[in-house]
């Protein structure tokens, strides 16, 4: 496999810049909601994002749906705010001309009971690495589409680091996917964001809308 810094840098740059310029679409909110996670049976399949947040974690605002209509061009998007008040303020305009990358914020606290559980979760792909054929084999799986360099990534406990059993040819960056596999509580650190969870030898299937 070719995992050179040059290739990886190109992949990340394309992802981040492309998501900034995506026209308005109806982005489905895959299972994410504003309520704290409710207790789930220890053997139940994980099929919603809030199951990965401890009960004490909550958002004051929903995740930003960057693909939705925002008025005049790129103006007027609010971001995430966690219960500490960190994040981007409601209604705060985002400066897309800035060369600075938005910093990740929010909780990295995990739900220990999800360790080893099966996954059947809908979300979006942020590629991290490709094989020699240009297929994605490593990625971050996130609950909403559209985080670019000027919008904070989801909190670490809402990101899953994934290595695929079989590499896939990616569609559009805003295409939703279903992740199947086995979840592990395991920290992962990347330049663009950190993740509190991991899924190895997982599979992705495109969701047809």
pLDDT digits (tens, 9 = 90+) for 164-206: 999 999 988 889 999 999 999 999 999 889 999 999 999 999 9
pLDDT digits (tens, 9 = 90+) for 101-124: 677 878 899 999 999 999 999 999
Beta strand 177-189 pairing with 160-168: unpaired
Locate 173 and state its tokens: 């960056």
pLDDT digits (tens, 9 = 90+) for 85-99: 455 554 555 556 666
Write down all domains in the chain, each with its CATH number in brackets: 5-30+39-206 (2.40.50.870)
CA atoms of 97 and 7, how far apart (whole Å) = 25
| C-beta separation of 143 from 49 below 8 A | yes
């Amino acid at each position: 496999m070719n995992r050179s810094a040059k290739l990886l840098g190109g992949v990340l740059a394309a992802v981040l810049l492309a998501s900034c310029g995506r026209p308005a679409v109806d982005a489905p909110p895959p299972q994410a909601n504003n309520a704290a996670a409710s207790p789930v049976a220890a053997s139940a399949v994980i099929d919603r994002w809030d199951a990965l947040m401890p009960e004490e974690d909550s958002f004051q605002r929903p995740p930003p749906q960057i693909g939705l209509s925002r008025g005049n061009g790129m103006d007027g998007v609010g971001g995430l705010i966690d219960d500490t008040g960190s994040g981007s303020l409601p209604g705060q305009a985002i400066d897309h001309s800035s060369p600075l990358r938005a910093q990740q914020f929010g909780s990295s606290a995990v739900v220990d009971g999800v360790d080893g559980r099966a996954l059947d979760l809908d979300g979006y792909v942020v590629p991290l690495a490709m094989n020699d054929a240009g297929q994605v084999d490593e990625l971050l799986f996130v609950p909403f589409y559209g985080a670019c360099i000027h919008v904070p990534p989801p909190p670490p406990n809402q990101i899953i680091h994934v290595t695929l059993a079989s590499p896939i040819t990616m569609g559009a960056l805003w295409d939703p996917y279903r992740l199947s596999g086995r979840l592990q509580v395991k920290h992962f650190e990347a330049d663009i964001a950190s993740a509190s969870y991991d899924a190895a030898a997982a599979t992705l299937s495109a969701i047809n809308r």
